[in-house]
Amino acid sequence: MTARQNLFGVTLDALTMDQTVARCLAAVRAGERLEIGVVNAAKLVNMRRDPALARAVSGCDLVLADGQAVVWAGRLLRRPLPERVAGIDLFMRLLAEAEREGLSVYFLGARQDVLEQMLRRVAVRFPGLRVAGSRNGYFDDGEQPAVADAIAESGADMLFLGMTSPKKEIFTAGYGERSKVALVHGVGGSFDILAGITRRAPERWQRLGLEWLYRTLQEPRRLGRRYLTTNVSFALMTGRELLRRTPSISTASRES
C-alpha cells in the first residue's frame, strides 16, 4: 500500500516519480490493470463543477499531483505530497522503460497529422520501442467501443491517451478495461509537445509553478480566460480549506 493524502475531497497517491514508475512496471509485469489519473489546479476546480469528471478521476488506481500548485497546496494544508509527478515526464519515463523491457505501447489522441509527426519523433528518440498501434483522437462517442476493441486486438501493454479532459478520463473510465491493456495513462497535450507543435515551459518556469503562464503566452486568446478563472478559483478553494482547518483564536483559548 502507498501513502495517500486527501486534498479537496480527492484522494491522491503520495508518490515520487521513481516510485510511480516502479509501481507502473510492477503492474505491467504482473498483468495487473492500472489506470493513472493526474490532477492540476484547473482539473481540481473542474472536478467540483463536473461530477462525471470527478467520478472518472477518483476511479483511477493511481491519482497523482501533475501540477506544482497542487504540491504547494498540499504542504500548506498539511497534506504533503513528496513531489510533482508531471504527466508528460511520467510518459517519457514509461516510454524509455517500455523500450528497455520490450513492452508494447498504443497511442490514442491528437489530430492525425500531429500523431504522425509525434510517431516519427518517438521512433528517433526510442528506436527500439514496440508500437502496437495508434489512432487519432477524433471519434464520436458511439465509436468508443470499436476504438477500445482495436486497442485490445493490438495486444499493447501500455495505452497513452493524448486527449483533453474530460474526454480522456471518461474514455478511461468507460473503456479502459475493455481495451485490455495493463497500464492506461492520460497524457493530455503531451502528443502536441512531442510532435513539436507546442513548446513546453523551460525547467525554471516549471519549478516556479508558471507552466500555465508559459502556455497562456503561446495561446492567449484560447487559454488566458480559462487559466485566470481556474487559478483564482483554486486559490479561493485553498484559502477556504486553510481557514476551515485553522482553529479560531476563541477556540484555541478555550482549549488551552
Could you give the CA distance from residue 195 to residue 182 in angstroms, rounded to a whole number?
A: 25
pLDDT of residue 61: 93
- DSSP secondary structure string, 209-230? T-HHHHHHHHSHHHHHHHHHHH
Residues 167, 141 contacting (CB under 8 angstroms):
no
pTM for the full model? 0.90
Q: What are phi and psi of 148, to 5 degrees?
A: -60, -40
- How do beta strands 10-13 and 4-7 pair? antiparallel
Segment 215-224 long-range contacts (CB within 8 Å, at least 24 positions apart)? none
pLDDT of residue 250: 47
pLDDT, tens digit (0-9, with 9 covering 90-100), for 129-182: 999 999 999 999 899 999 999 999 999 999 999 998 888 888 888 898 899 999
Residue 199 contacts by C-beta under 8 Å, 6 or more apart in sequence?
A: 193, 214, 218
Average pLDDT per 10 consecutive residues for the chain, totaling 256 residues:
86 97 96 93 93 90 95 95 96 98 97 97 97 95 94 97 86 90 94 92 86 85 85 94 71 46
Q: Give me 3's grid cell.
A: 501513502
Q: Using CA of residue 49, residue 52, residue 53, residue 59, what is the dihedral sign?
A: positive
pLDDT of residue 100: 97
pLDDT of residue 2: 64
Strands (E), the chain: 4-7, 10-13, 34-39, 62-65, 104-109, 130-135, 158-162, 183-186
Q: Taking Cα atoms as reference points, which of 136, 142, 140 lies closest to residue 119?
A: 136
